[in-house]
Amino acid sequence: MPEAPTFEIKIFADGADVESIIELSKEPLIAGFTTNPTLMRKAGIAEYEEFARDVLGHVGGRAISFEVISDEFDDMRRQARRLSSWGANVYVKIPVTNTRGESTGNLIRELSREGVKLNVTAILSLAQVESVANALEESAGAIVSVFAGRIADAGQDPIPLMAAARDVLVPFPAMELLWASPREILNLCQAVAVGCDIITMTHDLLRKIGGLGRDLEEVSLDTVKMFYDDAKSAGYLL
């Protein structure tokens, strides 16, 4: 990974490619790891527990999040307890609702009281942030993942919502606000400015961190060179 400035924020690598996770585990910039069933499927993961235990053997004591894969609360509870048992650094991802739109608040409250480390995911509204904060109020530590990138994909500016979410969580120092699904390096700077505790970044996005602070005329020249070299390599004629 290219060298990059340090930030007052934790960077979690988001992905399921085991080789990339192993390489990123050697980087001091990476404070933790996250994954989800969609990323695992894209990476060709066939066996959940085999993948998870393999990854756990490489990330040391850094935080890593694994997600429940059930839509029923009783089975979510069972899966959460099992996932949590795999390591003290494991955070269990619980979606803010199931696929029927039913709140997981009661389950979140129950699991957090048991001492299960939670990463509540798929949050996209301030009302959801408030509900989750209420459910986690007795938690010894949890992550609140707000999908800022998906808010932006819906044509809305995520920054006011992220700032409001930060305000909601201020009375709960054990809860960390996570900027999820960033689309560009600018989002890292925005997450720092808002006061987020964590940002997730895909392996591809992490490769771009070294470009932070570059002179824009230098970037312009590199872009011109790229277009020229590609046209020459392709053998285009006019």
From the list 26, 93, 208, 232, the catalytic residue is 93
Give just the sign of the alpha carbon dihedral 121, 118, 190, 127. Answer: positive
* Residue 175 β-bridge partners: 142
Annotation says 208 is catalytic:
no
Instruction: Name which of 208, 178, 207, 171 is nearest 192 in CA terms.
Output: 178
Residues 6+ apart with CB under 8 A from 203: 13, 14, 15, 17, 20, 24
| CA distances for 202 relative to 6, 11, 151, 155, 160, angstroms | 18, 10, 17, 22, 23
Residues 6+ apart with CB under 8 A from 77: 107, 110, 111
Residues noted as catalytic: 93
